[in-house]
Amino acid sequence: MKRKKNSNNNNGNGNEVFAAPVKEHLDARARVALRVDQIRLRRVKYTRRLMPGLEKRLAAAKESSERLLALLRERRDMFERPRTRTIDGLTIGWRTVPRKLRVPDPATTAKAIRTLMPERAETLINTKETVPVAGLKKLDDETLAALGVEIEEAREVPQIRMAKDSLDRQVEAVLEQHKADRAGAGEAAK
């Protein structure tokens, strides 16, 4: 059964609470996109002049994102069903982050595996004395604790996801190019 796409209409489902912060965030991102386009068109001549404005707009977009995340945390009760909503192309809501296993000291964990379960040592220990996390995921929590593995439980986190947007890649490209230009100018001065 296909899930119904979240809509952007405010038909009493509580979206009106998020309408203004979502619009603010989308406007901030639109201003960032405009600045990225301006920089790309005039990169060589104007990058130094436009970069402070881009940095200010990135900071404003980050602030609007933080305000939206805070509102999501505050109004968590609105996202029991559906867990996400799409308002004006911006998906907001909650998603489950899968649990992660981290082996802080692989040598100690490998030694514990050899001691506690020598029959599985070959499958759980790599030749370089590293422990592949994929193999550990099949073990129960008590065994993982005995092996010295830290467990970060699965948890709900708020999310903001822009639908089909390459703005972030464009911003990264502009920032990388600016960094390379500054590095090149610094070496040329030497």
The residues near 157 (Cβ < 8 Å, ≥ 6 apart) are: 94, 95, 97
Residue 120 pLDDT exceeds 80: yes
Residue 174 pLDDT exceeds 90: no
Dihedrals phi, psi of 125, to nearest 5 degrees: -120, 125
Instruction: Give the pLDDT score at 185.
Output: 67
Least confident of 19-28, 86-95, 153-162, 176-185: 176-185
Residue 179 pLDDT exceeds 80: yes
Q: Encoding tokens for residue 3? A: 């899930």
- The owner of tokens 């595996």 is 113
Instruction: Give the pLDDT score at 163.
Output: 65
Question: What is this structure's pTM?
Answer: 0.52
3-state DSSP assignment of residue 109 = helix
The secondary structure element, H or E, covering residue 50 is: helix 16-74
**What pLDDT, in 10s, does the model give residues 70-85?**
999 999 999 988 999 9
Quick one: pLDDT band at residue 20, thresholds 50, 70, 90? very high
Q: Encoding tokens for residue 49? A: 């002049």
Instruction: Give the pLDDT score at 32.
Output: 92
Instruction: Give the pLDDT score at 3.
Output: 44
Quick one: pLDDT band at residue 36, thresholds 50, 70, 90? confident
Give alpha helix (H) positions in 75-166: 106-116, 121-124, 133-136, 141-146
Could you tell me what percent of the chain has a pLDDT over 70?
86
3-state DSSP assignment of residue 160 = strand
Quick one: pLDDT band at residue 11, thresholds 50, 70, 90? low
